[in-house]
Amino acid sequence: MILETERLYLRELTQADYPALCKILQDEAVMYAYEHAFSDDEVQNWLNRQLERYAQYGFGLWAVVLKASDEMIGQCGLSMQDYKDGQILEVGYLFQKDHWHKGYATEAAIACKEYAFNKLDAPEVFSIIRDTNIASQNVAKRNGMKVEDEFIKHYYNIDMPHLLFSVSRS
């Protein structure tokens, strides 16, 4: 276990999480900000990328598990993301649609921000969020973040406006 909150614990993803990851990444409603649900290969590549991040950085997107049922309901964690001419430490999150609007994303995101500040000694963390993804923007705001920049990400042959949220360690 990496982190624990009141209702959740976060741990590294494993290959055994592939079916739960498919429930997230293959749901068009969940993946609307990406403009497509993932194929089986894209889900496996996503999982492989997290495993590579754990090996390289010691962190990545982690499995978010409900304590009450031991069910993996999402993923939340930290990753290095390209921004302008460098890289920034991002708090990212994706949850199964059945578990939206219950405060889980906020609970996990706050814990990841605190992990970045207290365990990684990060001076600042960010969230990169599509301009149309109001729910994720609201999670970032509840995580103490404010919009710092607007920029275009080119993904899946589409130019997508994004907002850069940030919060500094106090």
By the 8 A CB rule, do 17 and 64 touch?
A: no
Instruction: Say if residue 34's pLDDT is above 90.
Output: no
Residues 136-141 have a mean pLDDT of: 97
Confidence of residue 138 (pLDDT cuts 50, 70, 90): very high
Shortest CA distance to 113 belongs to which of 128, 125, 123?
Answer: 125
Mean of pLDDT values over 77-102: 96
**Cross-strand partners of 164:** 128, 149
Averaged pLDDT for residues 10-34: 95
Of the candidates 128, 122, 73, 56, the one whose C-alpha atom is nearest the C-alpha of residue 114 is 122
Residue pair 47/18 in contact (Cβ under 8 Å)? The answer is yes
The reported pTM is 0.95
Task: For residue 53, name the pLDDT band (cuts at 50, 70, 90).
Answer: very high
What per-residue confidence (pLDDT) applies to 111? 98
Residue 152: strand pairing partners: 161
Domains and CATH numbers, the chain: 3-168 (3.40.630.30)
Across the chain, mean pLDDT equals 96
Closest to 5 (Cα-Cα) out of 91, 104, 137: 104
User: How far apart (Å, rounded) are the C-alpha atoms in residues 104 and 102?
Assistant: 6
